[in-house]
Chain A
Amino acid sequence: MDFSWTAQQQQLRAEAKEVAADAVARYGWTADSWINGYCPPFARELAARGWIGISWPKEFGGAGRPAIDRMIIAEELIGAGAPVGSYWVAERQMGPSIFTFGTADQQQRYLPAILAGEATWCIGMSEPGAGSDLASLRTRAVRDGEDFVVNGQKIWTSFGAVSDFVYLICRTSADGPPHAGISELIVSMDSPGIEVRPIKDMAGGAHFCEVFFTDVRVPATNLVGVAGAAFKQTMRQLEHERGGIDRLVSNHALYRRALDRADMTDPLVRQEVAQLETRYRLGRLLVYREALGQAPKGFSAATKLFCTEHERKVADFTARTFGADAMLAGDVSRGLCYANSYTIMGGTSNILRNIVAERILGLPR
């Protein structure tokens, strides 16, 4: 066992801190900068540094560095509130899906723009009737010559209105059990027949959308991996989504501001801060363990559960620290609103508890 950092990693963290502070100075900060920090110029700057795809394999244009290096960068950038939203989903999730399951042609076609920080992607999984129960999705893609023809509706699609591509999970076969017959397609968001309607969230923002598909033609070559195997592939993807440090530090920038204001002579405040610090430190260890690939299989659900529940506590602490001022519209109250979403998106806390109970503890379904 060795909990130390290499000199290179320490240097990377120091550099990431500087980059984050500089980005915040130039572009401003948001309390959850991977959701609300849409900023293509900053993405291009990071790409120029080689920090997008730093842990992707070299053969796909990455730097081939350990996944933990990516976590270090993310922790510092998101923790400071630097705007990483425009490339986040693509770099974290879509790129790895494409280099793991995609064809050589897809890899050549889509990965470079992600690495350059130039392409924004969104994830089309959830539907109005299919949330926690993803296998009940209805959006279907029917083969017609060289194309698939897609019909259906997605919802809660983060970045739907600003994305170049949607990574679409849809039904390609109605036979067999529900989770069989689902496939993944890469769909260009400018395809005819796609209509996007932003949804206003409770904090007043509109980062997520409804996306409607009417006879949208998608080249059959855009099928990712094996037809009908999407459920397995998607679960692999969700590991990236759930096990990351973004799920721990969304509102860390706000927490720092609360600490500046907190009355650290108050024993109750000291207790609470000690608890938050404890869980933050332990959350990091769980995340790093995921990044090292040393967590039990499927544990990313537990990691996300632990980390996002922590973020809710951070939001509450922040509000109480700001006291009456937290009643006003602003960063603190926005943070208070957003904290509710962390424990919903990417799998609700209840669903994650079920997964952990069944997959890790082996309890019967």
Chain B
Amino acid sequence: MDFALSPEQAELQRTVRAFLSEKSDDAAVRRLMEAEVGYDTAVWHQMATQLGLHGLAIAEEHGGAGFGLQEQAIVFEEMGRALLCAPYFATVALAAPALALSDAAAQYLPDIAAGATIATVSTDAATAVQQRADWTLTGELDHVLDGHLADLILVSAGDGLFAVAGDANGVKRELLATMDQTRKQARLTLDSVPARRIGSAAILGQVLDIAVVLLAAEQVGGASACLEQTVEYAKVREQFGRPIGSFQAIKHTWTEMLLEVESARAAAQYAAWAADAAPEELPVAAALAKAHCSEAYARVATESIQLHGGIGFTWEHRTHLYYKRAKSSELLFGAPAAHREQLVTRLAL
């Protein structure tokens, strides 16, 4: 066993952190979260082409770098830390793994790796109708991440997984007002939309395990940023003539928060490793990571607001952005209780 990052992994972490600290600073996050499009196209293309982040875990034959989920998780941790506003999670954590398992990998993945396609996956299913070789989909898809601008939408219907062009005839897209403005969601209405069958619906189950592992990594990043920023504040904010961090109640709370973050990091890293090296352990590791990391992040973000006192409740302060990301990613793809239920089922206990 070895918990250390390899030199290449450490370099990846440094590079992404440096890049995001410049491109996704507080001002950028606030500007983008308020804009309908919600991401910076120039940054998006730099991420894809200069840093190769989109294709990191895409096979080399499809234009990617062929790394595993561990490297991908390192990137998501940094994105969670910087609260990056971009359709990156939808495209890279959801759609790319689904496409990789589909019959259409060669067609779509190169454009995803190049940053030319924004894609997403609906967790709601539609209804499919077949006429000879042609399929059409009809249905209401709720809470589709970045569905308002995705070029490509993957939807399950019946026993199939389908690809739908975002601008196809019969697609109605409505951007939803979200609590976490840094991650956009849309409601899509499909009315006899032409679709292409690219694989079996079972792909989605596998993909969700991967997506929650990457979400867990993102949660770890958010939680550790929250922890660090809050501890810094506790060192400088004075009440009763001393730094508030010198009060035992605060020391104890933040010691617990450190444990939350480090245990969450262990959960997320283990799950990412399992995806690469021990796939038979992934189902359990993924359920565990999603449940644990969700709650850890939510706790740290909640306590962070408390420690900041009045200022922690303001729009100007960063804590609420983490809190909202934490509370909504806790509910994304099912709340912790659902994943604990999965955990027990998957352990066959």
Contact = CB atoms under 8 A, between A and B. Distances in A.
Contact of B315 (A200, A341, A353): A200
B337 to A, nearest CB: 6
Interface stretch (A21-29, A290-298, A332-340): A332-340
A328 B179 contact: yes
Given A201-B313, A202-B313, A353 B249 contact: yes
A326 B331 contact: yes
Contacts of A234: none
Contacts of B180: 327
B76 interface: no
Contacts of B314: 199-202
Task: Give the interface size class of chain A.
Answer: 35 or more
A327 B145 CA distance: 11
Contact of B178 (A131, A199, A327, A343): A327
B312 A344 contact: yes
B70 interface: no
Interface residues of B, number: 37
A106 interface: no
B323 A340 contact: yes
Interface in B278-332: 302, 305-306, 309-310, 312-317, 319-320, 323-324, 327-328, 331-332
A131 B307 CA distance: 12
A319 B323 CA distance: 13
A136 B244 CA distance: 14
A329 interface: yes
A204 interface: yes
A91 to B, nearest CB: 24
Interface in A327-365: 327-330, 333, 336-337, 340-341, 343-345, 348-350, 353-354
Contacts of B142: 324
B239 interface: yes
Given A320-B337, A324-B142, A340 B306 contact: yes
Interface string B327-349: 11001100101000000000000
A287 to B, nearest CB: 23
B250 A329 contact: no
Interface in A67-104: none
A131 B237 CA distance: 11
B335 A131 contact: no
A132 B310 CA distance: 10
A344 B337 contact: no
A344 B179 contact: no
B143 A340 contact: no
A349 to B, nearest CB: 7
B185 interface: yes
Interface in A105-156: 126, 129, 131-133, 136, 155-156
B179 A156 contact: no
Nearest to B176: A328
Contacts of B323: 202, 337, 340
A202 B320 contact: yes
Given A136-B239, A202-B320, A320-B331, A350 B247 contact: yes
B306 A348 contact: yes
Contacts of B177: 328-330
A327 B313 contact: no
B306 A349 contact: yes
Contact of A336 (B178, B179, B309, B319): B179
Contacts of A268: 337
Nearest to A200: B315
A337 B335 CA distance: 18
A341 B238 CA distance: 20
20 contacts: A131-B310, A132-B244, A136-B239, A201-B315, A202-B313, A202-B314, A202-B315, A202-B320, A202-B324, A268-B337, A320-B335, A320-B337, A324-B331, A327-B328, A328-B185, A329-B178, A333-B327, A343-B306, A344-B309, A350-B249
Given A136-B240, A312-B302, 19 more contacts: A129-B238, A131-B309, A133-B239, A136-B239, A200-B315, A202-B317, A202-B319, A202-B320, A319-B327, A324-B331, A324-B332, A326-B327, A327-B143, A327-B179, A327-B332, A328-B178, A340-B312, A340-B313, A353-B249
Interface of A: 126, 129, 131-133, 136, 155-156, 199-202, 204, 268, 312, 319-320, 323-324, 326-330, 333, 336-337, 340-341, 343-345, 348-350, 353-354
